[in-house]
């Protein structure tokens, strides 16, 4: 698997929260070479399984979310302008002059319009424009014939290579996590002596409700789960706390709602296999699918791996490929020897 090409394929899939099913079919096809069972459920979750062939074997679930932040059309105005509302945590400061794709029956393109500085009143350039006051300019004179209210919108563009092994683009939250799981499953497909069943959940609606993680985990009923997501990487202007080394390896979450025994076992694997990792202290609800999966049914022993990412929830999210491949390697090395025995 060429990881950058995999990222390009994944990041090109439009999947605003609640609109995942078409993208889910593509991801399902990407998983089929490595899993014996693959399906897409009614919510747009991808569910897959690789059985170890042993009776009563424990199941470990690997999760990453498919959905991305985006927008919905709320009004179609004369002159090809659209009003829109955000879906997920969108920061209005970075929208003006942005490029978007409108997911109508025919893909359409637009730009978030903005007044040039020459037309602003004194002091206005220092104020963020509320999203409900912004417009998307499509240039269409017949926009009402092509675009309906409720049509989803995503950021335009595809991942680009920066210097070294850095990649920037939209939806790396959490297509990077999906790529890590795909890479790990490719390697696990060749393992003949697994001691646990491996399930994969590529989940819907993490950015808004957590619905996919809840329903998908309930369908699988695993004993153990690992959520694979992203967390904040350091930049010169970032706060001192809550950010992590870019290129420092995956973050292993530690906190009260993450299973201590499973977390410790993953840390031991990283040390034994000489995989660089960082520790992220989580004070409670992690803000990821780890929390949602943990409380399903009778409860699931859950751990969290995160890939350091810059500029979260923007069209220029950035990761280092080494962090992604180290995450994939840690998943593979842990799962291939896992037998379900962990401490409390």
Active site residues: 206
Q: What angle do CA 223, 63, 50 make, to 5 degrees?
A: 65
Strands of the chain (E only): list them. Answer: 37-40, 46-50, 59-65, 70-76, 81-87, 99-102, 108-112, 136-137, 152-155, 160-161, 166-169, 197-203, 224-232, 251-254, 278-281, 301-309, 317-320
CA 265, chain centre distance (Å): 24
Preceding peptide of 174 cis, ω within 30°:
yes
CB-based contact 285:291 (threshold 8 Å): yes
Residue with tokens 């690997």: 62
CB-based contact 279:252 (threshold 8 Å): yes
**Token pair in block for residue 304:** 């969290």
Q: Is the dihedral of CA 129, 132, 137, 138 positive or negative?
A: positive
Phi/psi for 86 (5° steps) reads -75, 150
CB-based contact 206:174 (threshold 8 Å): yes
Q: How many helices (H) and strands (E) does the chain have?
A: 8, 17
Q: How far apart are CA 293 and CA 215, in angstroms?
A: 9
């Amino acid at each position: 698997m060429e990881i950058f090409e995999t990222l390009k394929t994944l990041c090109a899939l439009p999947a605003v929260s609640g609109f995942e099913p078409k993208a889910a079919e593509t991801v399902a096809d990407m998983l089929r070479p490595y899993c014996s069972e693959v399906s897409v459920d009614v919510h747009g979750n991808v569910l897959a399984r690789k059985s170890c062939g042993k009776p009563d074997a424990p199941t470990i679930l690997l999760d990453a979310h498919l959905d991305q932040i985006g927008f919905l059309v709320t009004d179609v105005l004369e002159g090809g302008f659209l009003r829109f509302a955000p879906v997920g945590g969108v920061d209005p400061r970075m929208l003006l002059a942005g490029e978007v794709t409108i997911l109508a029956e025919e893909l359409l393109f637009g730009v978030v319009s903005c007044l040039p500085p020459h037309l602003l009143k004194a002091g206005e350039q220092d104020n963020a424009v509320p999203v409900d006051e912004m417009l998307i300019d499509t240039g269409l004179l017949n926009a009402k014939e092509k675009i309906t209210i409720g049509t989803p919108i995503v950021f335009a563009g595809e991942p680009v290579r920066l210097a070294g092994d850095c990649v920037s683009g939209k939806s790396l939250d959490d297509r990077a996590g999906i790529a890590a799981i795909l890479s790990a499953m490719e390697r696990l497909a060749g393992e003949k002596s697994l001691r646990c069943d491996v399930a994969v959940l590529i989940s819907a609606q993490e950015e808004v409700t957590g619905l996919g993680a809840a329903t998908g985990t309930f369908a699988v009923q695993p004993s153990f789960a690992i959520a694979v997501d992203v967390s904040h990487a350091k930049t010169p202007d970032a706060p001192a706390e809550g950010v992590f080394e870019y290129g420092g390896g995956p973050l292993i979450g530690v906190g009260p709602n993450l299973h201590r025994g499973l977390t410790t076992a993953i840390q031991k694997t990283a040390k034994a296999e000489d995989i660089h990792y960082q520790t992220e202290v989580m004070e409670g609800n992690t803000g990821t699918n780890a929390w949602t999966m943990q409380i399903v049914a009778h409860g699931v022993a859950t751990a969290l791996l995160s890939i350091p990412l810059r500029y979260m929830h923007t069209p220029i999210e950035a990761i280092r490929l080494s962090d992604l491949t180290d995450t994939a390697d840690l998943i593979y090395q842990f799962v291939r020897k896992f037998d379900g025995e962990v401490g409390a």
